[in-house]
Amino acid sequence: MRDNKTSQAANQYDANVDKTIPRFFLFHEETLDLVKAAIPKPQSWLDTGCGTGTLILKALECFGPMRVVAADPAESMLSIAQKKLVNHDITYMVVGSEDICYSESFDVVTAVMAHHYLNGELRIKATQNCYNILKKGGMYITFETIRPSTNHGMQIGLKRWRTAQLVNGKSSDAVDRHISRYGSEILPITIEEHISVLKEAGFSTVEILWVSGMQAGFYGIK
């Protein structure tokens, strides 16, 4: 039985995420590179859907000490994050971004592979919450599985995603189980819809950060 919303148990997530999501390591690299360009010395960072805390660890190594909040709806994920980040002063919250509320604001809010589990209404609410807890001029960065604009494009994309997972060492059964979640447990929207959600939340700057296969990254500045 899974103990979180991903296709892996929390204690197996780090070992399998790169096999499941092609070029996943680039999500963190692109995020850190973007923050370096826009907010060179962030003083506060909220990572919602933080999982096992890898992005937070990389951000602290990159930018040094700052106020950090790690939020995730799965206690199992936060438990691993706490061990990984034991040498850092982190505030932990067992909550999803669709329900998050915090009294202080942040320079950076990240949501990596977190909102594609939400339906349309909850995704809008989650994005709005992320906007609300940003400082003026703060940056929100999200990566998600996306839905191509056509059914044919979706079929091609899923075929490529399946092949990539097999090449990365996952079993055929494990790949099929993951792909079967697309459209049921994973609820992707198109790039155009992502941009619309960000603009409607109130972001003054909305941009596409990165696209490859069935995943894309976006950012907004408040």
Q: Please say if the pLDDT value at position 100 is more than 80.
A: yes
Task: For residue range 170-205, list pLDDT tens digits in order.
Answer: 999 999 999 999 999 999 999 999 999 999 999 999
| Average pLDDT taken over every residue of the chain | 96
Q: Annotate 52-114 with DSSP letters as a single string.
A: TSHHHHHHHHHH-S-EEEEE-S-HHHHHHHHHHTTTS-EEEE---TTT---SS-EEEEEEES-
Task: For residue range 9-61, list pLDDT tens digits in order.
Answer: 889 899 999 999 999 999 999 999 999 999 999 999 999 999 999 999 999 99
> In angstroms, what CA-CA distances link 213 with 20, 111, 163?
12, 19, 12
Beta bridge partners, 207, equal: 219
Amino acid 186: pLDDT: 96
Amino acid 2: pLDDT: 73
What Rg, from alpha-carbon coordinates, does the chain have? 17
Kind of pairing, strands 106-112 and 134-145?
Answer: parallel
pTM: 0.96
Binned at pLDDT 50, 70 and 90, residue 1 comes out as low
Binned at pLDDT 50, 70 and 90, residue 3 comes out as confident
User: ∠114-118-122 over CA atoms, to 5°?
Assistant: 115
Q: Which of 213, 14, 219, 10 is nearest to 111 (CA)?
A: 219
Distance CA 73, CA 17 (A): 18
3-state secondary structure of 173: helix
Return the CATH class of domain 10-221.
alpha beta
User: How many CA atoms are closer than 13 Å to the CA of 24, on its beta-carbon side?
Assistant: 19
Q: Which of 94, 55, 56, 57 is nearest to 76 (CA)?
A: 94
3-state secondary structure of 120: helix
